[in-house]
Amino acid sequence: MKYFISDPFTSLNVNQLGHSFNQWVKEWGSTLLANEEALTAFLDELQEVLDANNAEYKRCKPLVVKKYANPSKTTRLHLHILTEGSHPDSTAVARISIEKVFAEFDGQERIFKAKKGGAL
């Protein structure tokens, strides 16, 4: 199964931790993840970047990832990057949506890769 990182949202940040992380997030916009392993590698890299930025900018509140999947529409995974201890509904430093790719078009034929639904 392939996945697509749609246009990530980043907020205007007042500190270097948020700014540094948002620069990394913007590089991932409109990226196709080739398979489950690529999705796992992306999630691992996301955590590594957060850990490195949190270690570098110790005077700022650390950033954490909250993962959300809509139970009725499990074709999308939302990643909210928030400051540690903040309420999940508060303004996120960044948001990333990862969607399943269900079909591809090769210029002549639409090729269905999977049925809609199912866990991400």
SS3 category, 61:
coil
> What is the rounded distance in angstroms from the CA atom of residue 78 to the CA atom of residue 1?
18
- The per-residue pLDDT for range 8-56, each reduced to its tens digit, is 888 877 688 888 888 899 999 899 999 999 999 999 999 999 999 999 9
Domain assignment present for residue 119? The answer is no
User: Would 102 be classed as within a structural domain?
Assistant: yes
Contact 4, 10 (CB under 8 A): no
pTM, whole model, 2 decimals?
A: 0.84
- Residue 69: inside a domain: yes
Question: Has residue 6 been placed in a domain?
Answer: yes
Task: Quote the domain boundaries for residue 64.
Answer: 2-112
Residue 118 domain-assigned (yes or no): no
Domain count, the chain: 1
Query: Locate tokens 């409109």: which residue?
Result: 30
